[in-house]
């Protein structure tokens, strides 16, 4: 039951955070950011927000820094949108699985040739 609640809250936070980044965060440094997953701690007081950022390394670093700076704003907005006893502390983590999968795909195409 507890695991189900954590997953459900994580999914709800993923949708809300993605919407807030797209609609409410006014920082021009925040580029093309995709929230891929949110993992909740067992006590529901901490959330790891996995994000994928489109762009080169410099743009990614700028966008990630801007996201880190907007954590307080995002937390307050989540508090207004959701009825929670505690609004979790947000910790952004750069999700590199898309980059790694693209690299593996390019290596496979290189090895076996494009058909």
Q: How many CB atoms lie within 10 A of CB 14?
A: 18
In the prediction, which pLDDT does 92 show? Answer: 96
Q: Which residue segment(s) compose the domain that 93 sits in?
A: 2-112
Number of domains in the chain: 1
At 72, which CATH number?
Answer: 3.30.300.20
The pLDDT value given to residue 115: 54
CA pair distance 59, 65, nearest whole angstrom: 10
Rounded distance between C-alpha atoms, residue 18 and residue 34, angstroms:
7
Does residue 100 carry a pLDDT above 80?
A: no
Give me the chain's average pLDDT, please: 89
Q: Are 71 and 17 in contact (CB under 8 A)?
A: no
* % the chain with pLDDT above 70: 97
Sign of the C-alpha dihedral computed for residues 9, 42, 49 and 107 taken in this order: negative
């Amino acid at each position: 039951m507890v695991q189900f609640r954590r997953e459900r809250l994580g999914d709800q936070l993923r949708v809300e955070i993605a919407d807030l980044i797209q609609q409410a965060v006014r920082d021009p440094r925040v580029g093309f950011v995709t929230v891929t997953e949110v993992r909740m701690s067992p006590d529901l007081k901490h959330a790891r927000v996995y994000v994928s950022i489109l762009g080169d390394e410099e743009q990614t670093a700028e966008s990630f820094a801007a996201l880190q700076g907007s954590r307080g704003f995002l937390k307050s907005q989540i508090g207004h949108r959701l009825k929670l006893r505690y609004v979790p502390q947000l910790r952004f983590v750069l999700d590199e699985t898309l980059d790694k999968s693209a690299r593996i795909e390019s290596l496979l195409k290189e090895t076996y040739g494009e058909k």
